[in-house]
């Protein structure tokens, strides 16, 4: 498939990395020649330097026979105009745009994106994606990473294992015997910075990051087995009242269970805007690094702090300061993946990577066939893929033990007849089942072959 990606920043680069790795014809467009050069030097892609919304630039990028355009520049308006030009001048069949401004995302204006108006097939909102990710982190505070699969019936969890974890030094096959009714599977382990799919003989050690796919009803028991305690989040302090902070605070206000939230925002205009738009949330104007202000926000009585400013270092320091002042749980928004290894030493419990959530969201919309969900793990090192099994798939009708999955692929859960089942070697996968798989990035093409799906437009 021929894809044009407009914007060679972190999001555009990661999508280009995914798609070019799967042998697609990818062209990257950006007004910054250095970013284009970085993409062409490190990835198997072509590059065009120029403004993505200019018809002649898109023409040079091969728009006349492109199958899809993904507009992910830093400007909403450029992304919208790019999709319009792609449709009106070049008739590109599928158009994806990243839009940030809330006004463009309001449901009452959704008619704007009809084919006869501003033809955008898929609108991706980083702020909404990040707000959803933040709410999921708050729902499972002991996990540093979490995502829902199989219609919300399965939960993907990332847990850091400590010395008090009861199942350390136990081969995974023994865990299956010990907890025969537990519907959860260890699908990946990160040890000393290296992510891998484990075998049944692998053991878990203190310091490992363990990724688990669990039935949503078995999440509390899974947490307990892996040495984690679940606490209810009733009081939350947000540092940062921009678009992300606003989206999270608004979502907390609309939840059925009562959550008391406070927002700390340094910029006075932003703080006033947040106070106007939020109904039950207290907004404080000041610096989230100020111990006196954190004390005023009763940080020592809060169940969690969520730092979501536009500065990674401020987010990390504010999380550290909040924990020093007595807050038991801290989540930080981190754009730069190279800062993630510092989270453990600094005592920050969980993080949200907005680029990873945006990349996951875009991949979800551009994978073809019956792929229903894609979640990017780590620094695009692996994916969790949710897909419906087609009758044409080589795995339809086969037992799991008889399927020749690559080494870096593990089945996490299967939805059969409306029920989530733990994958065992004897379980037969049938047409119409929905399967959730963990796959290292290099093995994704083989997974798509086994599922009889390919990157394509719908």
- Please report, in tens digits, the pLDDT of each residue of the chain (458 residues total): 899 999 998 788 888 887 887 678 999 999 999 999 999 998 889 999 999 999 999 999 999 999 999 999 989 999 999 999 999 999 999 899 988 877 777 766 666 777 667 788 888 887 778 888 888 777 777 788 888 888 889 999 999 888 888 889 989 888 888 888 889 999 999 998 899 999 989 999 998 999 999 998 888 889 888 888 767 678 899 999 888 888 888 888 877 677 888 999 999 999 999 999 888 899 999 999 998 999 999 999 999 999 999 899 999 999 999 999 999 989 999 988 788 888 888 989 888 888 777 777 777 776 554 677 788 888 778 889 888 888 888 888 899 999 988 989 999 999 988 888 889 888 999 988 999 999 998 888 888 788 765 444 33
CB 50 within 8 A of CB 413: no
Distance, CA of 135 to CA of 339 (rounded, Å):
22
For residue 33, what pLDDT is reported?
94
For residue 367, what pLDDT is reported?
57
Around 425, how many Cα atoms within 13 Å sit in the side-chain half-sphere?
6
Distance, CA of 47 to CA of 4 (rounded, Å):
10
Phi first, then psi: give them for residue 102, nearest 5 degrees.
Answer: -60, -35
Listed residue (270, 204, 197, 195) closest to 238, CA to CA: 270
Please tell me the chain's helix, strand, coil percentages from 3-state DSSP, rounded to the nearest 5.
Answer: 35, 25, 35
Domains delineated in the chain: 2-124 (3.40.50.720), 130-225 (3.30.70.1450), 235-328 (3.40.50.720), 358-451 (3.30.70.1450)
For residue 370, what pLDDT is reported?
65
pLDDT tens sequence across 48-90: 999 999 999 999 999 999 999 999 998 999 999 999 999 999 9
Q: Is 11 helix (H, G, I), strand (E, B) or coil?
A: helix
Of all helices (H) and strands (E), which one includes residue 2? Answer: strand 2-6
Contacts 24+ apart (CB under 8 A), 338-347: 339/312, 341/193, 342/316, 343/144, 343/316, 344/160, 346/316, 346/319, 346/320, 347/320, 347/323
pTM (predicted TM-score)? 0.70
For residue 108, what pLDDT is reported?
66
Listed residue (32, 28, 75, 82) closest to 52, CA to CA: 82
């Amino acid at each position: 498939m021929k894809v044009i990606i407009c914007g060679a920043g972190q999001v555009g680069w990661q999508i280009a990395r995914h798609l070019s790795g799967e042998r697609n014809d990818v062209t990257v467009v950006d007004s910054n020649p250095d970013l284009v050069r970085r993409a062409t030097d490190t990835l198997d892609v072509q590059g065009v330097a120029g403004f993505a919304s200019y018809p002649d630039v898109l023409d040079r990028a091969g728009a006349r026979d492109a199958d899809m355009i993904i507009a992910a520049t830093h400007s909403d308006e450029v992304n919208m105009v790019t999709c319009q030009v792609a449709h009106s001048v070049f008739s590109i069949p599928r158009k994806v745009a990243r839009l940030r401004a809330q006004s463009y995302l309001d449901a009452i204006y959704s008619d704007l994106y009809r084919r006869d108006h501003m033809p955008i097939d898929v609108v991706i909102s980083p702020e909404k994606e990040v707000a959803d990710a933040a709410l999921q982190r708050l729902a499972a505070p002991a996990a540093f990473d979490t995502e829902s699969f199989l219609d919300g019936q399965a939960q993907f969890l990332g847990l850091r294992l400590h010395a008090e974890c009861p199942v350390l030094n136990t081969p995974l096959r023994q865990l299956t015997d010990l907890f025969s009714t537990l519907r959860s599977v260890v699908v990946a382990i990160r040890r000393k910075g290296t992510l891998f799919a484990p075998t049944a003989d692998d053991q878990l050690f203190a310091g490992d990051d363990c990724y688990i796919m669990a039935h949503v009803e078995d999440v509390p028991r899974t947490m307990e087995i892996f040495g984690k305690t679940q606490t209810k989040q009733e009081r939350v302090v947000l540092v940062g009242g921009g678009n992300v902070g606003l989206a999270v605070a608004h979502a907390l206000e609309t939840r059925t269970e009562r959550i008391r939230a406070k927002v700390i925002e340094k910029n006075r205009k932003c703080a006033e805007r947040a106070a106007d738009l939020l109904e039950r949330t207290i907004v404080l104007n000041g610096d989230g690094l100020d111990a006196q202000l954190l004390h005023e926000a009763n940080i020592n009585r809060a169940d969690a702090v969520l730092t979501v400013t536009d500065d990674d270092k401020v987010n990390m320091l504010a999380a550290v300061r909040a924990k020093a002042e007595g807050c038991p749980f801290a989540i930080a928004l981190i754009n730069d993946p190279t800062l993630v290894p510092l989270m453990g030493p600094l005592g920050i419990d969980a993080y949200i990577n907005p680029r990873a959530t945006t990349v996951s969201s875009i991949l979800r919309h551009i994978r073809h066939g019956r792929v229903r969900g894609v979640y990017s793990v780590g620094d695009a090192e692996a994916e969790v893929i949710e897909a419906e099994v087609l009758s044409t798939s080589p795995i339809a009708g086969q037992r799991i033990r008889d399927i020749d999955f690559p080494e870096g692929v593990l089945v996490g859960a299967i939805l059969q007849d409306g029920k989530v089942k733990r994958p065992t070697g004897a379980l037969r996968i049938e047409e119409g089942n929905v399967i959730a798989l963990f796959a290292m990035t290099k093995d994704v093409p083989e997974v798509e072959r086994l599922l009889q799906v390919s990157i394509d437009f719908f």
